[in-house]
Amino acid sequence: MKLNMIPTNKLAMLCTAVCAAMLAFSPNARADATLTTATNDPNALGDILPGIPTGDADITQYVNNMIGLSPGGSDTVTINGQTNTVNRFSLNSNVPAGTLPGAVLSTRGGATDQINLGSTAGVYLYLFAKYDGPNQGSFVWYVGNLTGIITIPQNWNGYGLSG
């Protein structure tokens, strides 16, 4: 019985072609995005009005209250005597359906409109931004499906990003 062997140079070319095809059809690991404060932004989760106070524990409480709401629902949360309305937007295309994981504050930045989420999706799940202290409110996006540099609006309804 005679075995037909593929010549090594042809085998190397075949392997290269297969690897190139796999890489061409794999999803890109980087997905820089620009988010908006529109209620129909695909990643918009909700808002908190007026969204004060905004200490670490307060932010976590707001987001956990929000993700506990049904899409389109609202609730009030009182922290340190300040009553806030928490609104969960109708389910947007990039926000997973069903139960969302609880929020844990992992990092806190200043009033910058660009945030580096890194190169691995799912490291950060929610992005919380505060606009102009007590005058506007806070906005929350679901970013568990995003990587790379995320740009958020510098203004929301005429009020500047403050944290």
- Assess if residue 11 is contained within a domain: no
Nearest Cα residue to 53 out of 133, 157, 160, 162:
133
- Assess if residue 18 is contained within a domain: no
- Assess if residue 17 is contained within a domain: no
pLDDT digits (tens, 9 = 90+) for 117-163: 999 988 999 999 999 877 899 999 999 999 999 999 999 999 999 98
- Assess if residue 13 is contained within a domain: no
pLDDT digits (tens, 9 = 90+) for 22-72: 333 334 344 688 999 999 999 999 999 998 888 899 999 999 999 999 999
Given pLDDT bands bounded at 50, 70 and 90, which one contains residue 16?
very low
Q: How many domains does the chain have?
A: 1
Please name the residue that has the structure tokens 């629902």: 73
- Assess if residue 95 is contained within a domain: yes
* Partners of 116 in the β-ladder: 149
- Assess if residue 20 is contained within a domain: no
CA atoms of 131 and 159, how far apart (whole Å) = 6
- Assess if residue 4 is contained within a domain: no
- Assess if residue 88 is contained within a domain: yes
pLDDT digits (tens, 9 = 90+) for 79-100: 999 999 999 999 899 999 888 9
CA atoms of 163 and 152, how far apart (whole Å) = 11
